[in-house]
């Protein structure tokens, strides 16, 4: 079972306590944006076989949203971090680099 550490309440939460929330760090494109940006924001999704960043909610715990860095090919969890950021923090990137040298995800590396 997938276990994620909630960065708010500090609990190692089982998957049954958590609600998955899809791709992390989406930038919102609203009215007035180009068709390409709007379509990409609404529908296109990263779907990597490997390093991936996601949003999760500690639904049956503290109720807060947070981010997780995972590997979709092995289900390994690299780390979790709070939601109040638009990009993965350096310590998470370092943790991934230690295990997946040369990884990239969207514009992050």
Partner 1 sequence: MKKRYSAFAIAREAMRNHLGWERAWASPIPKAKYDAIIIGAGGHGLATAYYLGKNHGIRNVAILEKGWLGGGNTGRNTTIIRSNYLQDPSAAIYEKSRSLYETLSQDLNYNIMYSPRGVMMLAQTHHEVRGYQRTAYANALQGVKTEFISPRRVKELCPIMNIDGPRYPVLGALWQDRAGTARHDAVAWGYARACSDMGMDIIQQCEVTAIRREGGRVVGVDTTKGAIDCNKLGIVVAGHSGVLADMAGFRLPIESVALQALVSEPIKPCMDVVVMANTVHGYMSQSDKGEMVIGGGADGYNNYTQRGSFHHIEETVRALVETFPMIARLKMLRQWGGIVDMTGDRSPILSKTPVENVFINCGWGTGGFKAIPGSGWGFAELMATGHSPLTAEFGLERFREGRFVDESVAAGVAH
Which residues here bind partner 1, judged by CB under 8 A?
A: 1-2, 15-16, 19-20, 22-23, 35, 39-40, 42-49, 52, 54, 70, 72-75
Cβ-based nearer residue to partner 1, 74 or 85: 74
Place of tokens 């943790």: 95
- How far apart, in whole angstroms, are the C-alpha atoms of residue 39 and residue 18? 28
Shortest reach from residue 94's CB to partner 1, in Å: 23
Q: In the complex with partner 1, which residue's Cβ is closer, 54 or 80? A: 54
Report which of 93, 89, 68 is spatially closest to residue 13, judged by C-alpha positions: 68
Contact yes or no for 69/94 (Cβ under 8 A):
no
CB of 78 to partner 1, least distance (A): 14
**Quick one: 70 or 93, whose CB is closer to partner 1?**
70
CA torsion through residues 82, 93, 53, 59, sign: negative
């Amino acid at each position: 079972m997938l276990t994620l550490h909630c960065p708010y309440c500090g609990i190692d939460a089982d998957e049954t306590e958590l609600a998955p929330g899809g791709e992390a760090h989406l930038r919102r494109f609203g009215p007035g944006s180009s068709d390409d940006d709007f379509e990409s924001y609404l529908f296109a999704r990263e779907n990597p076989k490997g390093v991936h960043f996601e949003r999760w909610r500690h639904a049956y715990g503290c109720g807060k949203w947070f981010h997780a860095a995972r590997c979709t090919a092995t289900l390994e969890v690299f780390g979790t971090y709070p939601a109040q950021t638009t990009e993965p923090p350096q310590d998470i990137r370092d943790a991934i680099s230690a295990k997946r040298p040369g990884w990239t995800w969207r514009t992050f590396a």
